[in-house]
Homo-oligomer: A and B are copies of this chain.
Amino acid sequence: MMNAPHTTEPQPTLRVALLGCGNVGSQVARILLEDADNLAARIGARLELTGIAVRSVDAPREAELPRELFTTDAESLVEGADIVIELMGGIEPARTLILRAIDHGASVVSGNKALLAQDGPTLYERADAAHVQLSYEAAVAGAIPILRPIRDSLSGDRITRVLGIVNGTTNYILDQMDTTGAQFADALADAQRLGYAEADPTADIEGYDAASKAAILASLSFHTRFALENVHCQGITSVTAEDIASAKDAGYVIKLLAIAELLKDEAGDDGVSVRVHPTLLPRDHPLAAVRGAFNAVFVEAENAGELMFYGQGAGGTPTASAVLGDVVSAARRMVLGGPGRTETTTGHVPALSIDMVNTSYYIGLDVADQPGVLAKIAHLFAEHGVSIETMRQTIHPAKDGGEASAELRIVTHRAAESSLAATVKHIQDLDVINAVTSVLRVEGI
Interface residues of A (CB under 8 A from B): 1-3, 5-6, 27, 31, 35, 38-39, 41-42, 137, 143-145, 148-149, 152-158, 222-223, 262, 269-270, 286, 289, 301, 303-312, 315, 317-318, 320-329, 332-333, 336-339, 341, 344, 346-349
Assess the B312–A304 pair: CB atoms within 8 A: yes
Mostly, the A contact residues are mixed
Report, nearest first, the 7 A-B pairs whose CB atoms are least far apart.
A156-B324, A338-B338, A145-B153, A336-B339, A304-B321, A145-B149, A303-B321
Separation in Å of the A248 CB from the closest CB of chain B? 18
Assess the A310–B286 pair: CB atoms within 8 A: yes
Separation in Å of the A87 CB from the closest CB of chain B? 14
Chain B: which residue is nearest A312 at the CB level?
B305
A337 / chain B contacts, CB cutoff of 8 Å: 337-339
Chain B: which residue is nearest A329 at the CB level?
B152
6 contacts between A and B (CB under 8 A): A31-B156, A145-B153, A148-B152, A152-B329, A155-B325, A305-B317
A286 / chain B contacts, CB cutoff of 8 Å: 289, 310
- Knowing A3-B269, A339-B336, A348-B3 are in contact, say whether A328-B155 is a contact too (CB < 8 A): yes
Chain B: which residue is nearest A289 at the CB level?
B289
Bound Cα distance from A36 to B13, whole angstroms: 42
Bound Cα distance from A270 to B3, whole angstroms: 7
Chain B: which residue is nearest A290 at the CB level?
B286
Bound Cα distance from A299 to B41, whole angstroms: 22
Bound Cα distance from A35 to B346, whole angstroms: 14
Assess the A144–B307 pair: CB atoms within 8 A: yes
Assess the B156–A2 pair: CB atoms within 8 A: no
Contact partner of A156 (CB less than 8 A), chosen from B5, B39, B158, is B39
Assess the A153–B42 pair: CB atoms within 8 A: no
Assess the A154–B325 pair: CB atoms within 8 A: yes
A145 / chain B contacts, CB cutoff of 8 Å: 149, 152-154, 307
Chain B: which residue is nearest A338 at the CB level?
B338
Contact partner of A310 (CB less than 8 A), chosen from B31, B303, B308, is B308
Bound Cα distance from A154 to B337, whole angstroms: 21
Separation in Å of the A38 CB from the closest CB of chain B? 7
Bound Cα distance from A10 to B413, whole angstroms: 46
A31 / chain B contacts, CB cutoff of 8 Å: 156, 303
Which of A157, A337, A348 neighbours the largest number of chain B CB atoms within 10 Å of its CB? Answer: A157
Assess the A27–B324 pair: CB atoms within 8 A: no
Assess the A323–B156 pair: CB atoms within 8 A: yes
A149 / chain B contacts, CB cutoff of 8 Å: 145, 148-149, 153
Assess the A301–B289 pair: CB atoms within 8 A: no
Separation in Å of the A324 CB from the closest CB of chain B? 2
Assess the A325–B156 pair: CB atoms within 8 A: yes
A3 / chain B contacts, CB cutoff of 8 Å: 269-270, 347-349
A1 / chain B contacts, CB cutoff of 8 Å: 270
Separation in Å of the A401 CB from the closest CB of chain B? 48
Bound Cα distance from A346 to B4, whole angstroms: 8
